[in-house]
Structure 1
Amino acid sequence: MAAAGAAATDLEVVRGRRAALFCAAVAIVLGLPLWWKTTETYRAPLPYSQISGLDALQLRLMVPVTVVFTRDSVPLDDQEKLPFTIVHEREIPLKYKMKIKCRFQKAYRWALEEEEEALSLDNVQEAEAVLAESQEQLEGSLTVYVISEQSSLLPQDKMSYIGPGRTAVVRGLMHREALTIIGHRVIQVAQAMSLTEDVLAAALADHLPEEKWSSDKRRPLKSSLGYQITFSLLNPDPKSHDVHWDIEGAVRRYVQPFLDVLSITGNFSVDSQILYYAMLGVNPRFDPASSSYYLAMHSLPHVINPVESRLGSGTATLYPVLNFLLYVPELAHSPLYIQDKDGAPVATNAFHSPRWGGIMIYNVDPKAYNGSGLPVRVDVDMVRVMEVFLAQLRLLFGITQPQVPPKCLLSGPKSEGLMTWELDRLLWARSVENVATATTTLTSLAQLLGKISNIVIKDDVASEVYRAVAAVQKAAEELASGHLSSAFVASQEAVMCSERAFFDPSLLHLLYFPDDQKFAIYIPLFLPMAVPILHSLAKIFLETRKNWKKPEKTE
């Protein structure tokens, strides 16, 4: 009986050990990996190596320039040296992560018969109009015509001409080293019509250290997919002034043609409003000498903040808003003028704030107060107002007058208020800015995801990152090839994809759920099951160790 009981007890002990070992094996081999897999953060693979390579990307900008010679523009000895190629390459000293070089490639050909006839005219504007009809140039490309040294196409005191299109004219030479001098003039004209250090520096203003950006330069608007333009009429004294302005007709005649040309850079929406009793918030000072009031230059920044709270916008938009304010001063402060830093009145009586908009002060003619009484009807001269607002709009987009070479005749803009090569220059700047912005966004995103390992990376986010990297690389290739249009489109795609990935809401879903909190949640669930299993395993280990030592003691 005793032996049978001992055998039964041993059998129960063995069965208990097997049960404990089985439970431990199931928990460790099956349960733990299954729990780890089902609770892990899903992270789609990203091209980290390619993103890190974008920091060292050497961005090369190439402007295709075709040089067309007339038959008597260079000496016969130099004609034997044609065709020729001039390469002007210089490194822009911008201490940014991308190394920027400007490369101007010059191709050569002789003028065609119809081009010879056009260049034989006495008016360069007429000649350019004829040449524009006979050729079709791609975005970003330039054509420079070299005419005879004695040609009457240009005034005798002018060595070159820059037209409103993608065409320029350079006067040739008939002495030694003519090609060298002509090539130097061509380079100067091409730089004025396309890329300069100032243009690229303005485009990269937000990506450069402060010491590399001089504060006296105006920062243009950041590249965006669209812009909201709001024209506001401020009438602080409606009891004295009954102001009327034909803003719809003025926008249709003057602003819309300009925006139609700029539509390639983004979408534009325009609205207008009239605000009554809207004050500037700065008390003007009285000048007894001229019996007028004035605003000093140092007080202009304080004008914007009080007015901005009243502006608002008729439509909700995610795009940058440009405000253009026409302010009719109240009767107590009329006439009102703006003074420059030297104390002289500003000719336009207006000023602009970078990336915000512009303000123009419109004084009422004093003769209007000689009528029957108040309020005085004021009909705004929209031609004079729109001239100022269009000039401010050009400055806000970074479209400034080029630094023309000496003895160069610069044509006036087209009826739209924008030259074709000015639009190309804006696209060059926007392409560089977009590439820099996309690179910065992708690099920041890669650093964020590398530091915080529990952020979910979905497949659609990874797809946007891959598309952004490919678009940046394509934009760089197209810029190096001189294909401006495709380079700008690729740079826009790079910005859109990188920002969609960076601001995806899924990236913040588990941001505040680190690993220590995960263990703190699951340990109370697993601990009641794990304690008996661990206790049984420890007991089995001790008994097994005790049984191994028994034979040694008997010997």
Structure 2
Amino acid sequence: MSKQDSKSIADEANRMWASASFVGVLIVIGLPLWWKTTEVYRVALPYDEINAFNTESHHITTDITVLANDELTAATIAELLKKEFEQYDVIKLNIKQQILSEDLQQTLDAVAEEQEALEEVAATFDTSLHNAFYVVQRKQLFQDVWVGTERVAFFRDTKAAPTLIEALKSWIYEPSVLHGARSETADAARQVRFPSGEGFHVVLSVVHPKPQAMKVDFDAAEAVEDYIGSFVDELTDLHNFTLKSQWLHLLEFNFQTNEVPEASLWGRHFPARYERLPLLLTRLEERAATHVSDRPALNLALYVAPCDVAPLAMYDADNNRVMSAVQAFMSPKWGGVVLGNPTKEECEQKLYTPDVKLIMGTFISQLRKLLGITDKELIHLAHLEPLRSVVPRRWELDSLLRIRTLEQVTSAERSLKSLAKLLGEISNIVINDEVGASINQAVASIHSARRLMTEGELLAAHHHAQQAFLAADSAFMEPSLLALLYFPDDQKYAIYIPLFLPVMFPVILSLKNLLLWLRGKPLHKEKTD
């Protein structure tokens, strides 16, 4: 072999080794590096657990104790309660029965007032426990059933069982409302109450359209603290509340109304018609400045009617006047408005002094509905003790806890299932460590809440349900999920192919020669004469 042939073979080997090095670097380092740097980062998630969630299987266990004068009465009432509530899968009664002691029987029959009898029962049994209720026999009743503000109901005898069952269903446990809390379809109560949340702002706005024409003697801050503060203090287990008050001056609204003569001191009234009320809410929303926080606001507004359009009278959708001591209306999931009408004498003196108890009582009534406490319908032969203060009844708090627990667990599960479905359909959504931690926390809290609901630990179940709701909502609304949402695969390839294709052509073409050289075959045929 000549020196020239040896040099040619050496040069060819160098070229082949250079090509092999280039191919190796490109394939061994370049492609994996490109693949790694362009992949969508996703934390491992418990998809199987999320897909296994069944919102229709949620239920809450609650304790109820039947206290009667004899064993037969206790057993009869307990059996009837068990039979009636078996049809509801959303609430399970853990029924206990017990015989009253002779001393307590005599005391209950001797006291004249039900409130005194209630105190005797509370002294013997612990009625302060959440999710527990006592049904106590008391023969000295003017009605078949009496329900007070504590977790106790009195019944007369076994003949009162149908009335007692109806009172438990319609007032105490409300299985239809609980079913609506876990369902996707909104019932009447759910359409009114605010959605679940960690906390709310309660804002009282005093709207004074013409401050130059009349002075209003009303301490809004003090009224909020005394009335609304006392009310929401009892709901701290459910939500955190921030109380605010403000004055809105020169906010006039044209009710587009004509004077209607009537037999009164004014001799007239001005209709506030149903179709104009939403426009009033829009004007209030423009000036209320309640949208500056991420927490939802429950708006309460006292609209002081100017003397030239006073008194304002509410008219319903059928154009009939609403006869009420307070002219007020409520907007679901927004708040309530009270129309403050000064008297003729107050307009002459140019000083309006609102009836604080009447107005704030109306606001409390509206707040109860907005937060989920339903109005109680009358039941024949059953007496519901009226509220004597702004504080809600103890069993109403339990009812709210049950509603919010079911609502928050169900909402968390639906959010996670929707997110899991979305992640399965769209492959380029990023799931970072923070989102993954929120999802895992929500899943763990859901399992804990469901277990505690079954065990009847209502307060702890609500705590975990709220944690699950907040974690699931945080994960679902995480902005980082949208990082690559508008950079689909076809755009990714459209960007990278023009970069890599010119480089890949020589590599691919050189692979043939490289393979031939590695097999020891000639790369080209020598020319012959």
Same structural fold, with TM-score higher than 0.5 when normalized by the shorter chain: yes
Q: 1:119: which partner in 2?
A: 108
Q: 1:176: which partner in 2?
A: none
SS in 1 for 2:195: coil
Change (3 A) 1:480 1:188: farther
One-letter amino acid of the structure 2 residue matched with residue 142 of structure 1: F
One-letter amino acid of the structure 2 residue matched with residue 129 of structure 1: E
One-letter amino acid of the structure 2 residue matched with residue 139 of structure 1: H
Q: 1:481: which partner in 2?
A: 455
Q: 2:422: which partner in 1?
A: 448
Could you report, residue by residue, the CA deviation over 1:457-486 in whole angstroms, capped at 9, with x for unpaired residues?
222321211111121122222222222111
Q: Is residue 305 of structure 2 the alignment partner of residue 326 of structure 1? A: no
Q: Is residue 181 of structure 2 the alignment partner of residue 199 of structure 1? A: no
Kindly report which structure 2 residues correspond to 1:72-87, keeping only aligned pairs within 5 A, or say none.
74=72, 86=82
Contact 1:243/1:379 (8 A) holds in 2: yes
Residue 182 (structure 1) shift: 6.3
Could you report, residue by residue, the CA deviation over 1:65-101 in whole angstroms, capped at 9, with x for unpaired residues?
1111124x847xx879999983544556xxxxxxx53
SS in 1 for 2:62: strand
Residue 162 (structure 1) shift: 0.9
Change (3 A) 1:514 1:250: same
Query: Distance between the aligned counterparts of 1:435 and 1:227, measured in 2?
Result: 19
One-letter amino acid of the structure 1 residue matched with residue 152 of structure 2: T
Q: 1:8: which partner in 2?
A: 7
One-letter amino acid of the structure 2 residue matched with residue 366 of structure 1: K
Percent identical pairs in the alignment equals 30
Q: 1:435: which partner in 2?
A: 409
Q: Is residue 109 of structure 2 the alignment partner of residue 143 of structure 1? A: no
Query: Distance between the aligned counterparts of 1:264 and 1:474, measured in 2?
Result: 18
Residue 185 (structure 1) shift: 4.9
- Identify which range, 119-128 or 106-115, moves more after superposition: 106-115
Q: 2:168: which partner in 1?
A: 190
Contact 1:238/1:276 (8 A) holds in 2: yes
Residue 453 (structure 1) shift: 1.8
Query: Distance between the aligned counterparts of 2:413 and 2:177, measured in 1?
Result: 19
SS in 2 for 1:300: helix
Query: Distance between the aligned counterparts of 1:82 and 1:262, measured in 2?
Result: 31
Q: 2:473: which partner in 1?
A: 499
SS in 1 for 2:200: strand
- Identify which range, 47-56 or 400-409, moves more after superposition: 400-409
1:239 to 204, 209, 212: 212
Q: 1:131: which partner in 2?
A: 121
Q: 1:268: which partner in 2?
A: 241
One-letter amino acid of the structure 1 residue matched with residue 353 of structure 2: D
Contact 2:45/2:436 (8 A) holds in 1: yes
- Identify which range, 453-462 or 80-89, moves more after superposition: 80-89
1:392 to 359, 366, 370: 366
Structure 2: tracts of 5 or more residues without a match: 525-529
Q: 2:149: which partner in 1?
A: 164
Q: Is residue 334 of structure 2 the alignment partner of residue 356 of structure 1? A: yes
One-letter amino acid of the structure 2 residue matched with residue 124 of structure 1: E
Q: 1:292: which partner in 2?
A: 269
Could you report, residue by residue, the CA deviation over 1:330-371 in whole angstroms, capped at 9, with x for unpaired residues?
222122111233623330211111111111111111123445
**TM-score in terms of structure 1 length:** 0.85
Residue 406 (structure 1) shift: 2.9
Residue 281 (structure 1) shift: 3.7
Residue 405 (structure 1) shift: 4.2
Query: Distance between the aligned counterparts of 1:392 and 1:83, measured in 2?
Result: 38
Contact 2:513/2:523 (8 A) holds in 1: no
Query: Distance between the aligned counterparts of 1:114 and 1:403, measured in 2?
Result: 35
Q: 2:527: which partner in 1?
A: none
Kindly report which structure 2 residues correspond to 1:78-97, keeping only aligned pairs within 5 A, or say none.
86=82, 88-90=84-86
Residue 233 (structure 1) shift: 1.4
**TM-score in terms of structure 2 length:** 0.89
- The aligned length equals 517
Query: Distance between the aligned counterparts of 2:10 and 2:503, measured in 1?
Result: 24
Change (3 A) 1:79 1:515: closer
Query: Distance between the aligned counterparts of 2:287 and 2:408, measured in 1?
Result: 33
Residue 108 (structure 1) shift: 0.8
Q: 1:553: which partner in 2?
A: none
One-letter amino acid of the structure 2 residue matched with residue 258 of structure 1: F
SS in 1 for 2:241: strand
1:460 to 421, 431, 434: 434
Q: Is residue 505 of structure 2 the alignment partner of residue 531 of structure 1? A: yes
Q: 1:343: which partner in 2?
A: 320
Query: Distance between the aligned counterparts of 1:478 and 1:517, measured in 2?
Result: 49
One-letter amino acid of the structure 1 residue matched with residue 105 of structure 2: E
Contact 1:91/1:101 (8 A) holds in 2: no
Query: Distance between the aligned counterparts of 1:465 and 1:436, measured in 2?
Result: 15
Q: 1:421: which partner in 2?
A: 395
Residue 45 (structure 1) shift: 0.4
Change (3 A) 1:360 1:81: closer
One-letter amino acid of the structure 1 residue matched with residue 286 of structure 2: S
Change (3 A) 1:79 1:337: closer
Structure 1: tracts of 5 or more residues without a match: 93-99, 174-180, 551-555
One-letter amino acid of the structure 2 residue matched with residue 382 of structure 1: V
- Identify which range, 469-478 or 356-365, moves more after superposition: 469-478
SS in 2 for 1:105: strand
Q: Is residue 203 of structure 2 the alignment partner of residue 230 of structure 1? A: yes
